[in-house]
Structure 1
Amino acid sequence: MRLLTQTLCLLLAVALSRAAPTHHDILMADQNGDHHEGKSDDKAHHGANPDRCDGLEFDAIAPDVDGITYFFKGDHLWKGYTGPAVLSNGIFKELDDYHNLGHVDAAFRMHNGDDPKDHDHLFLFLNNKVFKYYNHSLEAGYPKEIQDVFPGIPDHLDAAVECPKKECTEETVIFFKGDDLYYYGMSSKTVKQKKWPLLPHCTSAYRWLERYYCFHGHNFTRFHPLTGDVEPQYPKDARNYFMRCENFGHGRDYVDCNTTAHLDAVTSDDKGKAYAFRGKLYLRLDSQRDGWHAFPISSYWKEVDSNVDAVFFYDDKLYIIKGDVVYIYKTEAHYTLVEGYPKPLKEELGIEGPVDSAFVCVGENTVHIIQGSNMKDVDLSATPRSVTKEIPIPYFKIDAASCGPDGVRVYVGTNYYQYANPMIMAAGKIKSPTYKVPQEMLGCRN
Structure 2
Amino acid sequence: MKQLFLFLCTCLALAVSFAAPAQHDVETAVPSEPQEDSHYDAKFDRCEGIEFDAIVPDEKGNTFFFKGDHVWKGFSGPAEHANITFKELDDYHHLGHVDAAFRMHNKDGDAQKDHDHIFFFLDDKVFSYYNSTLEDGFPMEIQQVFPEVPSRLDAAVECPKGECTTDSVLFFKGDEVYSFDIKTKTVKKKVWSHLPNCTSAFRWLQHHYCFHGNNFTRFDPVSGKVEGSYPKDARHYFMRCPNFGHGAGHRKPPCKLDAISTDDTGKSYAFTGNTYIRLDTHRDGTHHFPITRLWKEISGKLDAVFAYGDKLYMIQGSQIYIYKSATPYTLIEGYPKPLKEELGIEGPVKAAFLCANQHVVHVIKGQKMIEIDLAATPRAVKTELPIPITDVDAAICDDDGVKVFVDSQYYVYQSPRILAVSKINPLPHRMSSEKFECEYDSGLQKPILQLPL
2:187 to 185, 188, 191: 191
Matched, 1:56 2:50: yes
2:275 to 281, 288, 296: 281
| Greater alpha carbon shift after TM alignment, 411-420 vs 173-182 | 411-420
Shift in alpha-carbon separation, 1:214–1:336, aligned structure 2, 3 A? same
- SS at 2:21 equivalent: helix
Matched, 1:266 2:260: yes
Task: Provide the C-alpha distance between the structure 2 equivalents of 1:419 and 1:253, rounded to a whole number of angstroms.
Answer: 39
| Greater alpha carbon shift after TM alignment, 102-111 vs 323-332 | 102-111
Report the residue type matching 1:174 in the other structure: L
- SS at 1:67 equivalent: coil
- Shift, 1:165, TM fit: 2.4
1:44 to 39, 43, 61: 39
- SS at 1:117 equivalent: helix
Paired position in structure 2 for 1:134: 130
Matches within 5 A, 1:5-20: 5-10=13-18, 12-13=20-21, 19-20=27-28
Aligned length: 430
Paired position in structure 2 for 1:350: 344
- Shift, 1:292, TM fit: 2.9
Matched, 1:335 2:343: no
Task: Provide the C-alpha distance between the structure 2 equivalents of 1:246 and 1:143, rounded to a whole number of angstroms.
Answer: 39
1:206 to 202, 205, 222: 202
- SS at 1:120 equivalent: coil
**What whole-Å deviation, never above 9, does each CA across 1:109-134 have from its counterpart, x for those lacking one?**
11235321221111111111101111
- Shift, 1:441, TM fit: 5.9
Task: Provide the C-alpha distance between the structure 2 equivalents of 1:253 and 1:310, rounded to a whole number of angstroms.
Answer: 29
Are the counterparts in 2 of residues 253 and 295 from structure 1 also a CA contact under 8 Å? no
| Greater alpha carbon shift after TM alignment, 6-15 vs 231-240 | 6-15
Task: Provide the C-alpha distance between the structure 1 equivalents of 2:421 and 2:82, rounded to a whole number of angstroms.
Answer: 56
Paired position in structure 1 for 2:147: 151
Paired position in structure 2 for 1:177: 173
Matched, 1:111 2:105: yes
- SS at 2:419 equivalent: helix
Report the residue type matching 1:9 in the other structure: S
Paired position in structure 1 for 2:448: none
Shift in alpha-carbon separation, 1:50–1:164, aligned structure 2, 3 A? same
**What whole-Å deviation, never above 9, does each CA across 1:234-270 have from its counterpart, x for those lacking one?**
1111111111111111146955666xx6221111223
TM-score by length of 1: 0.90
**What whole-Å deviation, never above 9, does each CA across 1:122-166 have from its counterpart, x for those lacking one?**
111111110111111111101100011111111111000111222
Report the residue type matching 2:315 in the other structure: I
Shift in alpha-carbon separation, 1:270–1:430, aligned structure 2, 3 A? farther
Task: Provide the C-alpha distance between the structure 2 equivalents of 1:224 and 1:254, rounded to a whole number of angstroms.
Answer: 27
- Shift, 1:182, TM fit: 0.9
State percent identity of aligned pairs: 55
Task: Provide the C-alpha distance between the structure 1 equivalents of 2:59 and 2:400, rounded to a whole number of angstroms.
Answer: 25
Task: Provide the C-alpha distance between the structure 1 equivalents of 2:61 and 2:420, rounded to a whole number of angstroms.
Answer: 38
Are the counterparts in 2 of residues 221 and 231 from structure 1 also a CA contact under 8 Å? no
- SS at 1:293 equivalent: coil
- Shift, 1:228, TM fit: 0.9
Report the residue type matching 1:192 in the other structure: K
Paired position in structure 1 for 2:444: none
Matched, 1:77 2:41: no
- SS at 1:367 equivalent: strand
Task: Provide the C-alpha distance between the structure 1 equivalents of 2:342 and 2:249, rounded to a whole number of angstroms.
Answer: 33
**What whole-Å deviation, never above 9, does each CA across 1:290-328 have from its counterpart, x for those lacking one?**
443111112222322112110111212111101111011
Task: Provide the C-alpha distance between the structure 2 equivalents of 1:364 and 1:150, rounded to a whole number of angstroms.
Answer: 46
Shift in alpha-carbon separation, 1:72–1:87, aligned structure 2, 3 A? same
Are the counterparts in 2 of residues 95 and 102 from structure 1 also a CA contact under 8 Å? no
Are the counterparts in 1 of residues 175 and 195 from structure 2 also a CA contact under 8 Å? no
Shift in alpha-carbon separation, 1:434–1:402, aligned structure 2, 3 A? same
Matched, 1:361 2:369: no
Report the residue type matching 1:156 in the other structure: R
- SS at 1:340 equivalent: coil
- SS at 1:348 equivalent: helix
- Shift, 1:374, TM fit: 0.7
- SS at 1:168 equivalent: coil
Task: Provide the C-alpha distance between the structure 2 equivalents of 1:403 and 1:428, rounded to a whole number of angstroms.
Answer: 17
Report the residue type matching 2:415 in the other structure: N
Are the counterparts in 2 of residues 368 and 375 from structure 1 also a CA contact under 8 Å? yes
Shift in alpha-carbon separation, 1:420–1:255, aligned structure 2, 3 A? farther
Are the counterparts in 2 of residues 297 and 305 from structure 1 also a CA contact under 8 Å? yes
Are the counterparts in 1 of residues 105 and 167 from structure 2 also a CA contact under 8 Å? no
Report the residue type matching 2:181 in the other structure: G
Are the counterparts in 1 of residues 61 and 285 from structure 2 also a CA contact under 8 Å? no
Report the residue type matching 2:428 in the other structure: T
TM-score by length of 2: 0.88
Report the residue type matching 2:48 in the other structure: D
- SS at 2:112 equivalent: coil
Paired position in structure 2 for 1:219: 215
Task: Provide the C-alpha distance between the structure 2 equivalents of 1:344 and 1:68, rounded to a whole number of angstroms.
Answer: 44
Matched, 1:121 2:120: no
Paired position in structure 1 for 2:10: 2
**What whole-Å deviation, never above 9, does each CA across 1:321-367 have from its counterpart, x for those lacking one?**
01111011112151121110111111101111110000112222121
Paired position in structure 2 for 1:38: none
**What whole-Å deviation, never above 9, does each CA across 1:393-434 have from its counterpart, x for those lacking one?**
111221111122332211111112223322233333575332
Task: Provide the C-alpha distance between the structure 2 equivalents of 1:253 and 1:293, rounded to a whole number of angstroms.
Answer: 16
Paired position in structure 1 for 2:443: none
Mark the structure with the bigger radius of gyration: 2
Task: Provide the C-alpha distance between the structure 1 equivalents of 2:119 and 2:252, rounded to a whole number of angstroms.
Answer: 40
Task: Provide the C-alpha distance between the structure 1 equivalents of 2:174 and 2:61, rounded to a whole number of angstroms.
Answer: 29
- SS at 1:13 equivalent: coil
Task: Provide the C-alpha distance between the structure 2 equivalents of 1:419 and 1:2, rounded to a whole number of angstroms.
Answer: 106
